[in-house]
Amino acid sequence: MLRTIITIKHEIHIIQYPFGLNEGGLYLSRNIPPDVLSAAGQPNSVAQVVATLSSNQSLSIKQLSRKSGLPQSQVASGLKQCRYRGWVISTQGESKGKGRPRHLWELGVSPLEIIRELEVEARAKHTILANAVKRLHKELNS
């Protein structure tokens, strides 16, 4: 298993990545835990939705709410943010009797792609901060 240490505001977070290495390259060894997404700066609603969907097939908002422990409004908010990022897709499930068919949600990308995307974002933020610190040191030393 790959590990990294992230230091945020003088706190040390040790993250156990949910993937490992083998001869074929990276593989996903289990579902994405919500604390990995939260440590990467994602809101709790997004972290819980992605974690729940990574361990299940298609789920309705009601099912997501039950499995994640979040209220339906927070699940809907998390799904909206995930849909904006292209992480989830919606399909229409079978209608039980009369009425509108329910929406079923599932991950539209692999959990590994989500982790890679978050890694790229974290590296970009780190680069921006490192450059700002360098400029600040130059200003203070001149």
Quick: pLDDT tens for 2-46. Answer: 455 554 444 444 455 555 555 555 555 457 888 888 888 889 999
For residue 137, give its domain range: 110-141
Residue 36 lies in a domain: yes
Can you list the alpha helix ranges (DSSP code H) found in 9-110?
34-39, 44-54, 61-68, 72-85
In tens, the pLDDT along 88-114 reads 999 887 777 777 878 899 999 988 899
DSSP H or E segment with residue 70: none
Considering the domain architecture, whether residues 52 and 79 belong to the same structural domain is answered as: yes
Q: Which pLDDT score is estimated for 10? A: 46
- pLDDT (0 to 100) of residue 60: 92
| CATH number of the domain encompassing residue 44 | 1.10.10.10
Position 34 in a domain: yes
Mean pLDDT of 125-129: 91
pLDDT band at 67 (very low <50, low <70, confident <90, very high): very high
Q: What is the model's pTM?
A: 0.69
